[in-house]
Structures are given as structure tokens and as C-alpha cells.
Amino acid sequence: MSAGDTNFREKSLNKMQEFFRQGKTIIIVSHWLEYIKQICERVILMEKGKIGKVGKSHLAK
């Protein structure tokens, strides 16, 4: 989350955590893999515009 001010980022992260607690699926597009590993259980890694890998986020490289 690089866009917006600190307050916006905090509100956004809180809202995402609320969705996670409710069991909702969220699609996040990011190049920040370390952040994604922290907040997501599963990931889809794209390679050259195609699905490269699908799996648990902590195993993503």
C-alpha cells in the first residue's frame, strides 16, 4: 500500500482485516511480495501475464 496518506492506509488495512475475519475473498494486485505474505493465506503469482504459481503465500518466492 504505497498510495495515500498514513490515515488512508490504516483505514484500508483495517477494512481488509475486517473482510478477512468475515471469510471474504479479496483480490489484491501488488508487487510488494513481503506485504502480501503477511496478509494473505493464498496467492496466485503471475509470470509474463499468465498464472505461474498458485499456493500458500508463505511459500511464494
Phi, psi of 39 (to 5 degrees): -110, -15
Grid cell 508487487 is found at 31
Cell of 11: 483505514
pLDDT in tens, 11-59: 988 898 898 889 888 888 888 888 888 888 889 988 899 998 899 887 7
pLDDT reported for residue 38: 83
27-30, long-range: CB < 8 A, 24+ apart: none
Is 42 inside a domain boundary? yes
| Pairing verdict, β 50-56 and 42-47 | antiparallel
Please report which confidence band the pLDDT of residue 1 belongs to, taking 50, 70 and 90 as the band edges: low
Is 1 inside a domain boundary? no
pLDDT reported for residue 51: 92
Is 24 inside a domain boundary? yes
Is 48 inside a domain boundary? yes
pTM: 0.59
Domain ranges, residue 55: 6-59
